[in-house]
Amino acid sequence: MEVAVLNISGKDTGKKVVLNDAVFGLEPNDHAIYLAVKQFMANHRQGTHSSKERSELSGSTRKIKRQKGTGTARAGDIKSPLFRGGARAFGPHPRVYNFKLNKKLKSLARLSALSYKAKDEAIYVLEDFNFETPKTKLMVELLNNLKVSNEKTLLVLNDLNKNVYLSTRNLAGVKIVRVSDLNTYDILDAKKMLIVESSLGAFEQLA
């Protein structure tokens, strides 16, 4: 698949690059994507939720009314889950949600997500660029030139560039990552991917 290389003004430089079919041209595996996204979200759960069950609650254990003759259901102590201020039956307790996935499956999910982006023509290849000083305004101009300012955007670099990173940090809809840090969730979460030309070689290692 051939893609034109654009400059930061959003204009075609006249150069074209070929995206590797082993990375951007696979038949996507939806189940692999599902598992990878599920793992990503599970690993980000704190799992600190907690509630008190009957044995953990402080309160009187005195029987609050006689067993029979009241016309209502029998009741034990005030800690019953049936009463206001009582315990919670089968409530949540702290737990770890993390689970592991096979490396090959995670790789397949990432390649599948990249292939979806290529099919949707949501990948832009940019000429290598740098900012002399960190300025959010420069990054906003770049996004406006590429007409992606109103969409979630993922900027992929080969090595982290401090000035570009600092220029991007204050923009809510833009995320910057290195090729080595790419994950399935970030790829799918973004509407557009901006890939710097020099980072294309690093994508070969993902295959």
Are residues 185 and 126 part of one domain?
Answer: yes
Output the pTM of the full model: 0.83
Is 149 exposed, middle or buried, given 0-12, 13-18 or 19+ CB atoms closer than 10 A?
Answer: middle
E-only strand ranges, 80-173: 123-126, 153-157
For residue 66, the model assigns a pLDDT of 92
Q: What's the rounded mean pLDDT across residues 17-27?
A: 92
96, 128, 158 - which closes a domain: 96
Are residues 153 and 60 part of one domain?
Answer: no
Are residues 113 and 34 part of one domain?
Answer: yes
Q: Quick check: 24 pLDDT over 90?
A: yes
Q: Quick check: 204 pLDDT over 90?
A: no
Structural contact between residues 57 and 88, judged by C-beta atoms closer than 8 angstroms: no
Mean pLDDT computed over every residue of the chain: 93
Half-sphere exposure of 53 (CA within 13 A, CB side): 6
Structural contact between residues 20 and 179, judged by C-beta atoms closer than 8 angstroms: no
Are residues 166 and 200 part of one domain?
Answer: yes
Distance CA 74, CA 129 (A): 76
Q: What's the rounded mean pLDDT across residues 52-61?
A: 90
Are residues 137 and 61 part of one domain?
Answer: no
For residue 1, the model assigns a pLDDT of 81
Are residues 170 and 131 part of one domain?
Answer: yes
E-only strand ranges, the chain: 2-6, 12-18, 123-126, 153-157, 174-178, 192-196
Are residues 27 and 14 part of one domain?
Answer: yes
29, 63, 96 - which closes a domain: 96
* Span 144-198, pLDDT tens digits: 999 998 999 999 999 888 999 999 999 999 999 999 999 999 999 999 999 999 9
Are residues 55 and 137 part of one domain?
Answer: no
The amino acid at 179: V
Helix or strand holding residue 164 (H, E): helix 162-168
Are residues 172 and 146 part of one domain?
Answer: yes
- Count structural domains, the chain: 2
The token duo for 173 is: 């809809």
Are residues 121 and 164 part of one domain?
Answer: yes
Domain with 110, as residue range(s), is 2-45+100-206
Nearest to 199 by CA among 181, 174, 183: 181
Are residues 75 and 129 part of one domain?
Answer: no
96, 131, 163 - which closes a domain: 96
The token duo for 113 is: 């997500």
Are residues 125 and 41 part of one domain?
Answer: yes
Nearest to 149 by CA among 136, 163, 161, 160: 136
The token duo for 88 is: 């919670």
Distance CA 173, CA 153 (A): 6
Q: Quick check: 42 pLDDT over 90?
A: yes
Domain at 28, CATH number? 3.40.1370.10
For residue 205, the model assigns a pLDDT of 85
